[in-house]
Structure 1
Amino acid sequence: MSQYSFDVSLAEFETQVLLPAQEVPVVVDFWAPWCEPCKVLKPLLEKLAEEYAGRFLLAKVNADENPELSQHFGVRSIPTVKVLFQGQLVDEFSGALPESQIREFLDRFALPAVGGANLREEAAALVGEGKFEEALAKLVEASQATPEDQAIQLDAVEVLMQLGRNDEAKQLLGGEYAQEAERANALRARLALSEGAADTAEIEAKLATNPDDHAARLDLARAYAAQGRYREAMETILEVIVRDRFFDEGAPRKAMLQLFEALGGSEQYDDLVREFRRKMSAALN
């Protein structure tokens, strides 16, 4: 039996739900064995209760066996989820929602993560000041405080890449990131770009001799990207698109999309990606 999720009946509802709900939000899941959507929602809520590690409690009520509770809470269909906190019904939903929507629902009332969230904010501020070593130390501390928070781990990956410690970043990215899959994949793509480092001065000299060497220009864009010079990389690719959009079976468009993928999931690059999505669209139309 988990300390964060448990079955509850009418007899122990006051001691296991109402009293704890004075201090911590309690999610009450009304379910039944014959209910197909319940078979999806219930294990998902159990998994999230473990992940949130006490930021909310999950009380599972068999609606068939506890009709009094169902009636008291006005349950008309199942699954139905009610949230009790500090003597009040604070939120609810019915039906089996996607995991992303359930996370958004939980985040509206779940208690804040102890330590980790504040440390992550401090680390972000240090990154903004260019203090990457100090930021990494904060993220290590934050990850120790909330080891289930995959966003903190991926923040650490980004800082390691800023420090040029790509082997460590690659090792950290070797794990599974079910909660942050899109961002993890983007970081893997960005790490792959960094392995394409080349001498930009040599390629620039080659282009000065032959400005129509589109292959060299794309090589230059990859070299810029490997150095983290993403705006210059996109501008270089865009120039190839403008000069010859069909070069090498659409290679410049594919290179730009690869960059978009690599920078996805990172707020600091959102504006840059939007800008060049518009520019590429204009160049292709």
Structure 2
Amino acid sequence: MQPRNMSMSGVVDLAAVKAAGEARQKAEEARAKGAGRQGAAGGPAPSSPVIEVDEADFEQAVLQRSAGVPVVIDFWAEWCEPCKQLGPLLERLAREYAGRFLLAKVDVDRNQLLFQQFGVQGIPAVFAVVAGQALPLFQGAAPEQQVRQVLDQLIQVAEERFGIVGAPVAGDEEAPAEPAVPEDPALAAAHAALDAGDLDGAVRAYRNVLADKPADTEARLGLAQAELLQRVQGLDAARVRKEAADDPADVHAQLRAADLDLVGGHVEDAFGRLVETVRRTVGEDREAARVRLLELFEVVGPDDPRVVAARGALARVLF
């Protein structure tokens, strides 16, 4: 699980490994060729701002093109429900941004090598490649406002650091931008509170949204994340882990350790710890562990393979 803060911290350090002068020169050459210009890969500009990419053409389609335009990579799968929320949003923004970035979609089921090389922990996962340098942007479905913020920061860094400004997509120069769908003000306020670190305010705001819209997936995800961050705030990680290891029967120690596991990205460890706690407890302790596990499922996403596996394990110990 990655935090909702989708800042671009670290991008300059990653990109600095590339020779800025070389990337800038390539970008200038690409821009100078006008509407019929050649892309950074040496081939024609793409006819669409959205391309499907596989392992065979990744170097040409992504790495080489990234010298002339920021490339955003969307790791997705057909079975992934959050992917079905994020994917269309990214595609719409790619058309709206009109060539300022290129969206490359990678089906993880068909491209396991790329999935592993990028160290993807769960999907949807979004990375960028600028001047040949890869960097993570965010993981999981995210609201449009935050996605736009990340894209704007990416484009700004690409231009200021390397002079990479992208190019109009061939045949798309006159295409009108699709109107943006306004975000629910109450949901936007909840997101803003979470991003500002006001966890109490975020929890209240998300609960208010859910009171009116109980099925709002985005609000449920935001609430689960806010409550998780609220629980781990101020915890001494070393002490929590020692208490959990010293007394496996201490259910509350196991709950705290599982929260820290998830925040630290150790998803399977968090799930396994709670499944085992459910297995060896009864009554209120068992229910507390079961409920916490379901809450963590919300944070990761119901269609994540790790959640699917943990649900099966939970069912086996319960029944």
Q: TM-score, normalised to structure 1's length?
A: 0.43
Larger Rg: 1
Higher relative contact order (CA 8 A, sep 6+): 2
